Amino acid sequence: MRKFASVLIALAAMALSQPASAALQVDVNQGNIQPLPIAIPDFVAPAAADAAAGQNIAKVVRADLERSGLFKPLDPKSYIDQISNINVAPNFQNWRVITAQGLVTGQVAMQPDGRLRVDFRLWDVYGESQMLGLQYFTQPTNWRRIAHMVSDAIYQRITGEKGYFDTRIVFIAEAGPPLKRVKRLAIMDEDGANPSFLTNSYLVLTPRFNPTAQMIAYMSYITGKPRVTLFDLETGRSEKLGDFPTMTFSPRFSPDGNLVAMTLETAGNSDVYVMDLRTRKSTRLTYDPAIDTAPSFSPDGKQIVFESDRGGSQQLYVMNADGSNQHRISFGEGKNGTPVWSPRGDLIAFTKQAGGQFGIAVMHPDGSGERILSNGWEDEGPTWAPNGRVLMFTRTIRGGRGSQIWSVDVTGRNLRRVATPGDASDPAWSPLIQ
Amino acid sequence: MKKFAVGPKLAAAVLALFVVGCAKEPPPPPPAPAPVAAPAPAPTSQIIPGSAEDLRVNVGDTVHFEYNQYSVLDADKATLQRQAAWLAKYPGIKVTVEGNADERGTREYNIALGAKRANAVKEYLVSLGVSSARIDTVSYGKEKPICSESTESCWAQNRRGVTVIASGANS
């Protein structure tokens, strides 16, 4: 099932000149930034047979960087120069004329052993220096992954933050009329490419990746008795998690992948439990007669944020991973639910219901600094990019007119719809693929 | 009507309920399937006693809830009393109570809320003498609406508990 063969990266001694003092950079923390103009010509293919690969890789890199909202890839038609040899310094003046501040040059070449070799260099057009040079070897069918890895390397070199393009999204693919909705487990690359269905037509909800992106925990109605279920991407097999007499739902892996926090309903009452995947023993963490659900671990695994209406309305609470020290952290307007702890640890994203609207918001784990990132008829269920800078969520259109996946920068900028094959909901972002 | 053994107390309750039942407007039947060829739909008089249709049409399978609440409403107690009486009449039948929520809540919360609603219906039926072993529950949260408009009237229809036959029905 796993499509990705290993990719060799050579941090080759490719520098033609000394690395520049980082003149070319994007400060991702500024509230309002101008996207950085960057030129990414098609990668050079010394053998005509490799030309398509060179064009495809450059196209995916341009799309990745544009989608981030931090870069403005320039129209290739505006280029004055053609790149024919990536081992000589470009004519910087001709790239400055078209307003490029960054320039990516690359080359693809099929090797005698059947692997594809991809080289690229990132240039600071004004500093007239090379910022980065990398080399990859991979199976030719892997060219999309190489393109995403090139995008990640450029993003990291210029922003100082790790990229998130070489990732996948597991989600619920929706089809059919509003009253007869079919929901299937599906997976795709972060840019919407390579979509595939993982389950047949029965109700499934709320999928989440484990930290190696090899396992998905989700809620399945396949037996008529809804239970948390594990899907192994390697084997394509599903397995009910645990043997509970009543409903289990809202699963979430611990950062080390050994535990699954979830909700167990007993006689109508929902409480948070943790199951150890090694021993299959479960531990109850909450004992309140109110609704306790939607647990999410802090990145150090020591705390869990969850939602509860024990105080009279749905709000966010934090507890230690053993269930001790349960305390409310959300005190703002409205109701707050579906919390997810950022992989960086600094923020918790959640769904805010106030004034007849559902929006995505973030706050610090102590409840301070609440900021609204999106507002819609029904925006809900955020998930974090592995670098903690971008969120995806479900946007449901009023009047039963379907669900879509949207993304937004943690600053609130760059709100845009994510390409999906048809209606989609409940996205979960994978870690960077290993 | 077929005779069945009930205690005098329950028989009185059943009788009283029939009165209530007549006064109350029965819930609207679900839309009929698209007509296929010849046979006309069976008239209500031909509903088989103890069947799923009997429960739906003659007893009433659905109760409703207030926004974000899960207590059984006084207005719905008659329906559940009819269900309890009907279940007493057909002791071989097991049911599942399906709890549902409107769209104005987050996904996991609505699953939990639907479970509370299904359980509230179950507890009420048990309080009327139905064995808890005959009643299973399931929550669909906001995943199974019967009305798709984003209006208060649709939301009220979707906030519901539905008693469906799991096994033992006459057919």
Distance CA A430, CA A385 (A): 7
CA dihedral B100, B103, B106, B108 (to 10 degrees): 20
Residue A24, pLDDT score? 77
* SS3 assignment for A56-86: HHHHHHHHHHHHCCCEEECCHHHCCCCCCCC
Which residues of A fall within a CB distance of 8 Å from B146? 179
Of all residues in chain B, the one with the smallest CA distance to A307 is B109
Residue A202, pLDDT score? 87
CB-based contacts of A232, cutoff 8 Å, min separation 6: A1, A214, A215, A238, A239
Residue A400, pLDDT score? 84
Chain A contact for B48 (CB, 8 A cutoff): no
Domains of chain B and any CATH numbers: 52-167 (3.30.1330.60)
Question: Chain B interface, mutation test: which of A225, A249, A358, most B Cβ atoms within 10 Å?
Answer: A249
- Give B95-164 as a DSSP string: EEEEEE--SSS-HHHHHHHHHHHHHHHHHHHHHTT--GGGEEEEEEETSS-S--SSSHHHHHHHSEEEEE
Q: Which residue has the higher pLDDT, B10 or A137?
A: A137
Residues 133-162 in B contacting A (C-alpha not used; CB under 8 Å) = 137-141, 143, 145-150
Task: Give per-residue pLDDT as tens, A289-301.
Answer: 999 999 999 999 9
Residue B60, pLDDT score? 98
Q: Are strands B135-141 and B94-100 parallel, antiparallel or unpaired?
A: parallel
Q: How far is B141 from chain A (nearest CA, A)?
A: 11
pLDDT band at A344 (very low <50, low <70, confident <90, very high): very high
Residues 91-130 in B contacting A (C-alpha not used; CB under 8 Å) = 103-109, 111-113, 115-116, 118-120, 122-123
Chain B contact for A355 (CB, 8 A cutoff): no
Question: Chain A interface, mutation test: which of B68, B96, B103, B111, most A Cβ atoms within 10 Å?
Answer: B111
Q: How far is A400 from chain B (nearest CA, A)?
A: 5
Q: Is the pLDDT of residue B21 over 50?
A: no
> Which of B107, B109, B148 is closest, CB to CB, to A291?
B109
Question: Chain A interface, mutation test: which of B97, B102, B107, most A Cβ atoms within 10 Å?
Answer: B107
Q: How far is B103 from chain A (nearest CA, A)?
A: 9
Task: Give per-residue pLDDT as tens, A120-132.
Answer: 999 999 999 999 9
Residue A235, pLDDT score? 95
Residue A23, pLDDT score? 66
pLDDT band at B30 (very low <50, low <70, confident <90, very high): low
Instruction: Indicate the average pLDDT of chain A.
Output: 93
Radius of gyration of chain A, Cα coordinates, nearest whole angstrom: 23
Task: Give per-residue pLDDT as tens, A153-165.
Answer: 999 999 999 999 9
CB pair distance less than 8 Å for B139 and A250: no
Residue A420, pLDDT score? 95
> Which of B103, B109, B119 is closest, CB to CB, to A293?
B109
Which residues of A fall within a CB distance of 8 Å from B147? 179
Q: What's the rounded mean pLDDT across residues B124-152?
A: 97
Instruction: Indicate the average pLDDT of chain B.
Output: 83
- Could you tell me how many CB contacts below 8 A there are between chain A and chain B? 98
Q: How far is A228 from chain B (nearest CA, A)?
A: 12
Of all residues in chain A, the one with the smallest CA distance to B113 is A291
Q: What's the rounded mean pLDDT across residues A302-319?
A: 98
Q: Is the pLDDT of residue B160 over 50?
A: yes
- Output the pTM of the full model: 0.89
CB-based contacts of A150, cutoff 8 Å, min separation 6: A57, A61, A104, A106, A118, A120, A134, A136
Indicate the burial class of B100 (C-beta count within 10 angstroms; 0-12, 13-18, 19 or more). Answer: buried
Q: Are strands A269-276 and A116-124 parallel, antiparallel or unpaired?
A: unpaired
Helix count and strand count (H, E) for chain B: 5, 4
> Which of A265, A337, A377 is closest, CB to CB, to B109?
A337
Residue A434, pLDDT score? 73
Q: How far is A177 from chain B (nearest CA, A)?
A: 10
Residues 29-88 in A contacting B (C-alpha not used; CB under 8 Å) = none
Of all residues in chain B, the one with the smallest CA distance to A267 is B119
> One-letter amino acid identity for A276?
D
Task: Give per-residue pLDDT as tens, A354-394.
Answer: 999 999 999 999 999 999 999 999 999 999 999 999 999 99
Q: What's the rounded mean pLDDT across residues A274-303?
A: 98
Task: Give per-residue pLDDT as tens, A100-150.
Answer: 999 999 999 999 999 999 999 999 999 999 999 999 999 999 999 999 999
Residue A196, pLDDT score? 96
Task: Give per-residue pLDDT as tens, B39-85.
Answer: 544 555 689 999 999 999 999 999 999 999 999 999 999 999 999 99
Residue A433, pLDDT score? 83
Of all residues in chain B, the one with the smallest CA distance to A224 is B138
Task: Give per-residue pLDDT as tens, A185-239.
Answer: 999 999 999 999 999 888 999 999 999 999 999 999 999 999 999 999 999 999 9
ipTM > 0.90, yes or no? yes
CB-based contacts of A23, cutoff 8 Å, min separation 6: A124, A126, A127
Q: What's the rounded mean pLDDT across residues A166-174?
A: 97
Chain A contact for B164 (CB, 8 A cutoff): no
Q: How far is A291 from chain B (nearest CA, A)?
A: 6
CB pair distance less than 8 Å for A247 and B139: yes
Q: Which residue has the higher pLDDT, B91 or A30?
A: B91
Chain B contact for A337 (CB, 8 A cutoff): yes
Domains of chain A and any CATH numbers: 10-23+34-159 (3.40.50.10070), 168-429 (2.120.10.30)
